[in-house]
Chains A and B, each alone.
Chain A
Amino acid sequence: MSGQTKIASPEARTAALKDALSKKGLIPEGALEGVIQTASEEWDPKNGARVVARAWVDADFRKRLLEDGTKACAELGYEGIQGEYIVALEDEPTRHNVIVCTQCSCTAWPVLGLPADWYKSPEYRARVVREPRKVLHEMGLDLAKDIAIRVWETSAETRYMVIPCRPEGTEGWSEEQLASLVTREALVGIALVTSA
């Protein structure tokens, strides 16, 4: 490295990289803004919530979602990068699913949004594959001992989403009302969906 010793802040380093590429005319106008807008507005866990709610009220859609998650999500308009091969994992009363990416932080951007910091943290990535019940307990989800846990490691190109169990007491609710119950956390499997 050059004679510089003090490490510049990440903010200053980001600005430097952007300036250096821009000065060479390498960044098309609006390219960065377009990515940021897509990431901030289009990739949203509310999309995954709508997919779940649709699966709860529409048995045919549920079947299509479990058979071909990519295609079913695309029916609702959710597709694109990091959504090329989506597999939906349906919770059962006796088996709970939880998602991680231990080696980086892969997730299904079009339906789950960019991942939260806890998902990207070394703590979650290191621990959830080894002591999932304890990790879930610490995050507020207590699962009975007889409920099996499957931890899905996003190590290749499959992008997972969890279809949580539909909460009791929601019979007759509209798809929109149901979608409002499904949190970002439930779509990854660190929380259940409740009607309270």
Chain B
Amino acid sequence: MDGIHDLGGMAGFGTIAYEEDEPVFHEPWQATAFALNIVGIGVLRNHNADEYRHSIERMLPVHYLQACYYERVLTGAATLFVEKGLVDLDDLEARAGGSFPLAAPNADDPMVDLTPQPVARFKVGDRVGVKDIHPKGHTRVPRFCRGKTGTVLHVAPAFSFPDAAAHGGAFRKEHTYHVEFASTDLWSDAGSENESVVVDLWDSYLEAAAS
């Protein structure tokens, strides 16, 4: 989805806060929230990693930007525990002593029709174009590279296709490619010629481009 999570290249953000010798968790609840999600994925099999990422993407934009990372983890995991019926929202709110904001529901028609590509179609050095797609559900094509052309630097092994895995679609694996885009091809205000962004993209997001 073209959501608030897809932040790459968005303007208006200020300086990056940096903390010296930062602890792994700042507060105990953050560790618990992290662990609840990991147990939800790995032990309870309540949800998979793609459903989890998308549950966070479905958070209201205002909530997303105001929440710290572990509040986003908590909200995404809780949304999936409620949606799959393991816990009840009224019960959670009674226990918490206040409201418990969850993410918005999944889109009715979350997937774009992309032909599965079980065999790697591209090799190192190929020029590839990124399809200009706008799935309503989960996808891992950042907006900033859609419609752009880049060069394959590396062919990675085949991995589960996230757009399907997040929405109960048929399991499929496709190779991913490390595709390098010149910054000057991505941004009209790019800093210099010798900067680039390498994006890791599944096969069916791509199409052959003229070299």
Taking Cβ atoms with an 8 Å cutoff, the residues of A that contact B are 1-2, 4-21, 24, 26-28, 31-33, 35-36, 39-40, 81, 85, 87, 100, 102-105, 113-114, 116-118, 120-127, 129-135, 138-139, 145-158
Interchain CB contact under 8 A, B14 and A157: no
Taking a contact as CB atoms under 8 Å apart, the answer to whether A17 and B70 are in contact is: no
Between A and B, 25 residue pairs with Cβ closer than 8 Å are: A8-B99, A12-B96, A14-B29, A14-B36, A17-B78, A20-B81, A21-B36, A26-B44, A32-B36, A35-B34, A39-B31, A40-B24, A103-B7, A103-B53, A104-B5, A123-B14, A123-B15, A130-B183, A132-B191, A133-B192, A149-B195, A152-B197, A153-B200, A156-B162, A158-B156
Residues on A with beta carbons closer than 8 Å to the beta carbon of B78 = 13, 17
Chain A facing B: main interface SS: mixed
Q: List residues of chain A with CB within 8 A of the CB of B196.
A: 148-151
Task: Scan residues 163-209 of chain B and give those whose CB is less than 8 A from a CB of chain A.
Answer: 176, 178, 180, 183, 186-187, 189-192, 194-202
Chain B positions 32-50 with a Cβ under 8 Å from a chain A Cβ:
32-36, 38-39, 42-44
Which of A12, A127, A154 is packed against the most chain B CB atoms within 10 Å? Answer: A127
A20 and chain B: residue at smallest CB distance: B87
Q: In the complex, what's the smallest C-beta–C-beta distance from A154 to chain B, in angstroms?
A: 7
CB pair B95–A16 under 8 Å, yes or no, is yes
Q: How far is the CA of A86 from the CA of B87 in the complex (A)?
A: 36
Partner of B35, one of A35, A81, A122, A129: A35
Beyond A20-B95, A85-B157, is A149–B15 a contact (Cβ under 8 Å)? no
Q: For the complex, count residues of B whose C-beta is within 8 A of A.
A: 87
Q: Write the nearest CB–CB distance from A40 to chain B, whole angstroms.
A: 5
B159 touches which of A35, A36, A156 (Cβ 8 Å): A156
B135 on the A face (CB < 8 A) = no
**Chain A nearest CB: distance from B22 CB in Å?**
5
